[in-house]
Each structure stands twice: as C-alpha cells, then as structure tokens.
C-alpha cells in the first residue's frame, strides 16, 4: 500500500476507529511517510489524539502540553456563549486545539464553525490575552492530563444559525452575573470580566 492509499484509509475510518489504532499500526503507517505526510495524517486524526497514539502504553500517563484558542462570543445583550460539554458536566468556551501548521486565527475560526455553526471573519477577532500556566490544566475522564497554552479572543460580530455537534450537550448565552458554577474555563472568563469592569470604569471616569 502506497503512502497516499494509507492516508486515504485513515480518512475513511470513523473517529472512534482512528482512536483505537494500536501503537504498532501507527508505527507501520508512519515509517514510510514524509514530514508533510505526517502533518497531513496528524491533522486528519487531530493533533492531541495523534500525539497520544504515538506514545504507546504511556499515552494516558504522559502530561501533554497543548496549544489552542478559545473565544468569548458576545451577543447584542452582552451575554457570553458557553457550551455544556458532552464528555463532562462542565460549561466551557468554544475553542480547541491548534493543528500542525495552523495559525491561531484559523484555529479559532475553524473550531467556532465546527462547534457552533457560526461564521467568524478574521477581521472580527480581537485578542484578549495569551493564557498559560497552572490554571490551564485540564484532567479528562479517560485519565489524560493536559496543560494548555490558550490564545483568547473576543468576538462580537458573527453570522449564521447557532447549532452544536456531538461534542456539546447544549449551548447557551449567559449573563455575566448569572454564570453556571461548574465552569471549565473560569480563568479565561475571569479575564474577560476584568476587561469589562476596566472598560466600565474608564467610561465612568470620562463621564464625570
């Protein structure tokens, strides 16, 4: 089987079938591939899952450093969009992991489309902060532990009808003073609240 045929075969697998690939199968598939083909394979499977598959028996023991982006999507009422994740009982921001060779701007636009069905243009992305450190640790039900470096964007302009995929139980806009307690991204949301309070104080000062 040639390299293209091997990659096409992976494309034809379901997400669950890709995740069940054995370490031995991954070795056999990857050995003849070029660096560009390995990048393509990683982006088909998804970088975090692909990285785990390459670790063999250590895949759930190794703490993974992971880059990604998240979005504070605000409606005309000043409410922020949160998703109730399917893999845990927590509310989090739309977003996800960066793929190999992908810009952060492209990451968040792609993730928003995949998770919410909303369309966002790059010109409407406003950088809030780049967040890293211990607050960005995530423990998953399957035993995986990751520490994220997250590029956080503010988005006010978007289009499309809000829909969600199987990664989410539901999605809902929340008032800042009525947020759910079981949050997945409290550090990111707190940064946005600090920004809102700072802007409100500036407006008050200039009006006096």
Residue 208 has pLDDT above 60, yes or no: no
Say if residue 54 is in the same domain as residue 68: no
Length, in residues, of the chain: 208
Say if residue 39 is in the same domain as residue 142: no
The pTM of this model reads 0.88
Rounded distance, CA 161 to CA 64, Å?
34
Residue pLDDT, tens place only, 82-93: 999 877 788 999
Rounded distance, CA 36 to CA 50, Å?
15
Residue pLDDT, tens place only, 91-134: 999 999 999 999 999 999 999 999 999 999 999 999 999 999 99
Say if residue 114 is in the same domain as residue 42: no
Element (H, E) at 10: helix 3-12
What CATH number should be reported for the domain holding residue 137?
Answer: 3.90.79.10
Rounded distance, CA 114 to CA 116, Å?
6
Asked, for residue 205, whether it belongs to a domain, the answer is: no
Dihedral of alpha carbons 99, 103, 106, 108, sign: positive
Q: How many domains does the chain have?
A: 2
List the beta bridge partners of residue 74. Answer: 80
Asked, for residue 121, whether it belongs to a domain, the answer is: yes
Asked, for residue 203, whether it belongs to a domain, the answer is: no
3-state secondary structure of 180: coil
Report the pLDDT value the prediction gives residue 55, as an integer from 0 to 100.
92
Of the candidates 58, 83, 102, which is a domain's last residue? 58
Say if residue 71 is in the same domain as residue 146: yes
High-pLDDT (> 90) share of the chain, %: 76
Rounded distance, CA 156 to CA 24, Å?
47
Say if residue 160 is in the same domain as residue 99: yes
- What is the residue range of 46's domain? 3-58
Say if residue 75 is in the same domain as residue 170: yes
Neighbours of 74 (CB within 10 A): 19
């Amino acid at each position: 089987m040639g390299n293209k045929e091997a990659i096409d075969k992976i494309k034809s697998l379901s997400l669950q079938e890709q995740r069940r690939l054995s370490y031995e199968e991954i070795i056999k598939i990857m050995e003849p591939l070029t660096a560009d083909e390995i990048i393509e394979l990683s982006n088909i499977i998804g970088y975090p899952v692909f990285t785990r598959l390459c670790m063999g028996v250590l895949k759930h023991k190794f703490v993974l450093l992971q880059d990604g982006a998240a979005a504070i999507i605000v409606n005309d009422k000043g409410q922020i969009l949160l998703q109730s994740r399917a893999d845990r009982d927590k509310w989090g921001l739309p977003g996800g992991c960066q793929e190999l060779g992908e810009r952060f701007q492209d990451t968040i636009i792609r993730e928003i489309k995949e998770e919410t069905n909303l369309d966002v243009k790059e010109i409407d992305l406003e950088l809030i902060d780049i967040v890293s450190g211990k607050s960005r640790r995530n423990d998953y039900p399957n035993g995986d532990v990751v520490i994220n470096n997250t590029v956080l964007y503010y988005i006010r302009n978007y289009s499309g009808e809000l829909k969600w995929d199987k990664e989410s139980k539901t999605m809902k806009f929340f008032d800042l003073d009525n947020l759910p307690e079981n949050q997945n991204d409290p550090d990111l949301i707190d940064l946005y609240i600090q920004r809102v309070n700072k802007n409100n104080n500036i407006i008050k000062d200039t009006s006096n």
